Structure 1
Amino acid sequence: MFVGCADPARISGFDSEKWQQDKKGCKGHRSTMVQDFDAIRRDLYGRPEAEVKDILGKPDAEQLMRRGQRVFIYYLEPGSHCNERNKLSEANRAEVRFNALSKVSEITYLRPLPTSK
């Protein structure tokens, strides 16, 4: 039996290490990466859960939904969640929804990003 060690999934132009080192967005690094995240958001659609964890790291929080769906929460800025463990805060966050096949089906923000016109 062969066990391979594949390189973790990455998306060109996105600093996965910097993102992952800012757990829960509490250091403020993710808030400087919001535009970078938004630029790769479409590239995450259809990717399996394991690849999302490679790219964005372990989620800051997770919600189980009906019909086998799950949502990974990644905070984009510091908030009350930095001091109160196991509580969601009103800090802006990205919510990555997985369908029953564990593939990304939707990515939303608590507070949508302003669009430039």
Structure 2
Amino acid sequence: MPLIRLFTIFLLIISLSECSSVPDQFGKLDLKKWRGDRGGCNGVRAMLVPDFRAEIQNLKGKTTNTIGELLGRPDINQIADRNQKFYIYFLEKGTHCDQPGMKSNSRSVAIRMSAIGLATEVTFQNGLP
């Protein structure tokens, strides 16, 4: 009987953890606005760059899933050497907005994800890293 009770508690904990909603704020960064500006095409992400920069150290060490939940699906998911990848988020409107799939030199931020799925580096550049 105690095993069944333990199993029931375990299922309850699992179901409660799955119901947790994604936060709208990460430190100073307004995540709702960030996620709402897919590709940076509306100019909202560009205004959020100072708040994003303030939270860079807090993003490092987060898992791939957590980064995706916080910032939304990346605009580009780029595979790198040694099972690493980059999550790339555009910060401003560019050719990628009007012609999806076209190379864009718009400002972007890249989050390097290690082979074990942790954010290790955050860089800013024009286009892709």
Is the partner of 1:42 in helix, strand or coil?
helix
Query: Map of 1:5-84 to 2, 5 A cutoff?
Result: 5=18, 6-8=20-22, 11-84=26-99
- Runs of 4+ in structure 1 deviating by more than 3 angstroms, as ranges, are none
Q: Percent identity?
A: 30
Structure with the bigger RCO (C-alpha within 8 Å, sep 6+) is 1
Alignment root-mean-square deviation, CA: 1.4
Is the partner of 1:62 in helix, strand or coil?
strand
Aligned length: 111
Is the helix fraction higher in 1 or 2? 2
The structure having more radius of gyration, on CA atoms, is 2
Is the partner of 2:86 in helix, strand or coil?
strand
Gaps (5+ residues) in structure 1? 112-117
Contact kept, 8 Å, 1:8 with 1:51, in 2: the verdict is no
For normalisation by structure 1, the TM-score amounts to 0.88
Is the partner of 2:73 in helix, strand or coil?
coil
For normalisation by structure 2, the TM-score amounts to 0.80
Gaps (5+ residues) in structure 2? 1-9
